[in-house]
């Protein structure tokens, strides 16, 4: 069943099964899931995954692969992900392709919107169908939606708040769902990091996946990196380990004194969800002090935004955000173009960058800022996800650049 988004206040289709077609005898199935937008638009479909209701901001993702990693990316906390690629679920799900550091922890994704129905898995690594995997993780989904129309709506009007509901009986309190959707707060001003950060310090030793071997265990690294967890992804930690780093992961609320007491050779600022200005209320003073101590620092996504705030720049809410694995970015330091993965709804305003921040990367889609490097301190950051490997390894050099900064600092005896 496929429905166009309908006018505000109108419920497409019927709340009870449609009459049988007089010729074929086919009966339209009762909708078992709804996506109710804040303006009253109602979209019908068939429910998958968990049963219940969830609310969040609706975005669209243009990736053709990696749906399991997307659905477990902590940066999607507070959001409902619409996939523009229709065949989601065709390779099933497994226990390895999970991006939350705690594989059993809910990722923060509120729900997912799909075009086609989920098929049986067709991949040797699959351990269960996507539907069953969604149930286990408590993620509500809706299929049979005209995702092209929904994507066009987001493109034209921006990312709306919505409630996604799944009830196998097809019985919904539509007015209550509309009221709930209309009353949801804007993503602006929301600090969602507490939903996804860790509670205590921990060590990371896992390396990247290899065919026939799976994930490995890293040897004691040359450099000690303290990674601040604003919603960090597992593959970032794996690539740090592969680059020769011994990694300690600390909560987002760790103080500068607590971090410096660990005697780090480098600081990593992770990705994460929500409004960077809200998280920055407590994170920016810590980052500013670490930068002033001239500890080599590398930031990704939210970490990039927080570093920018720490040096006096400003961030802004984007109209539709950047979510996908096909984004071209130019590295201004080399002139090369990388194909990268992105997942952000806020961006750094390049006009507010101070003189000691050089813009190193820029989006070739819309010219937005995608990276900076400080000229007076050993620190840099990017707005995209170099660990996600869509190119596939176009951006892995950034981890080597981070290691080089630590080598240079140690050589100076700092």
Q: Is 385 a catalytic residue?
A: yes
CB atoms within 10 A of CB 216: 15
Omega within 30 of 0 (cis) for the link into 84: no
Calculate the alpha carbon distances from 91 to 48, 364, 380, 400 in Å: 16, 31, 37, 33
SS3 211: coil
Indicate the helix (H) or strand (E) that contains 229: strand 223-229
CB of 273 within 8 A of CB of 74?
A: yes
Q: Is 110 a catalytic residue?
A: no
Which is catalytic among the residues 166, 301, 323, 373?
A: 301
* Structural tokens at position 370: 């995608």
First to last CA, the chain: 64
Q: Is 387 a catalytic residue?
A: yes
3 state SS for 26-79: CCCCCCCEEEEECCCCEEEEEEEECCEEEEEEEEEECCCCCHHHHHCCHHHCCE
Q: Is 85 exposed, middle or buried (0-12, 13-18, 19+ CB in 10 A)?
A: middle
Which is catalytic among the residues 166, 304, 361, 385?
A: 385
**Residue 276 C-alpha from the chain's centroid:** 14
Residue 100: name the closest of 135, 72, 75, 68 by CA.
Answer: 72
Q: Give the catalytic positions in this structure.
A: 301, 385, 387
């Amino acid at each position: 069943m496929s429905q166009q988004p309908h006018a505000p206040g109108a419920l497409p289709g019927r709340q009870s099964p449609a009459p049988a077609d007089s010729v074929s005898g086919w009966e339209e199935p009762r909708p078992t899931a709804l996506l109710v937008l804040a303006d009253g638009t109602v979209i019908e479909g068939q429910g998958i995954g968990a049963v219940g209701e969830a609310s969040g901001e609706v975005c669209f993702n243009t990736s053709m692969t990696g749906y399991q990693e997307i659905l477990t990316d902590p940066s999607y906390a507070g959001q409902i992900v619409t996939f523009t690629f229709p065949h989601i679920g065709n390779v099933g799900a497994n226990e390895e392709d999970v991006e939350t550091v705690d594989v059993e922890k809910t990722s923060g994704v509120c729900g997912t919107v799909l075009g086609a129905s989920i098929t049986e898995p067709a991949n040797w690594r699959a351990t269960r169908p996507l539907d069953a995997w969604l149930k286990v993780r408590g993620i509500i989904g809706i299929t049979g939606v005209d995702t092209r129309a929904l994507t066009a709506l987001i493109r034209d009007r921006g990312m709306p708040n919505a409630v996604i509901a799944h009830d196998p009986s097809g019985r919904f309190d539509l007015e209550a769902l509309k009221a709930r959707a209309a009353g949801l707060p804007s993503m602006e001003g929301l600090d969602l990091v507490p939903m996804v950060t860790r509670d205590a310090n921990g060590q990371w030793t896992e390396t990247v996946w290899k065919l026939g071997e799976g994930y490995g265990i890293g040897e004691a690294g040359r450099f000690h990196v303290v990674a601040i967890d604003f919603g960090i992804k597992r593959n970032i930690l794996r690539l740090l380990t592969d680059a020769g780093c011994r990694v300690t992961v600390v909560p987002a609320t760790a103080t500068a004194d607590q971090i410096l007491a660990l005697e780090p050779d480098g600081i990593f600022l992770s990705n994460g969800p929500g409004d960077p200005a809200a998280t920055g209320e407590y994170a920016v003073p810590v980052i500013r002090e670490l930068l002033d101590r001239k500890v080599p620092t590398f930031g990704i996504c939210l970490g990039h935004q927080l570093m920018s705030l720490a040096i006096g720049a400003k961030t802004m809410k984007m109209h539709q955000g950047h979510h996908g694995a096909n984004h071209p970015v130019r590295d201004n330091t080399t002139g090369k173009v990388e194909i990268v993965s992105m997942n952000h709804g806020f961006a750094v305003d390049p006009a507010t960058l101070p003189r000691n921040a050089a813009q190193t990367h820029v989006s070739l889609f819309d010219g937005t800022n995608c990276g900076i490097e400080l000229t007076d301190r050993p620190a840099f950051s990017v707005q995209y996800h170099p660990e996600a490997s869509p190119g596939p390894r176009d951006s892995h050099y950034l981890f080597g650049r981070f290691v080089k900064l630590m080598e240079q600092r140690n050589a100076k005896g700092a």
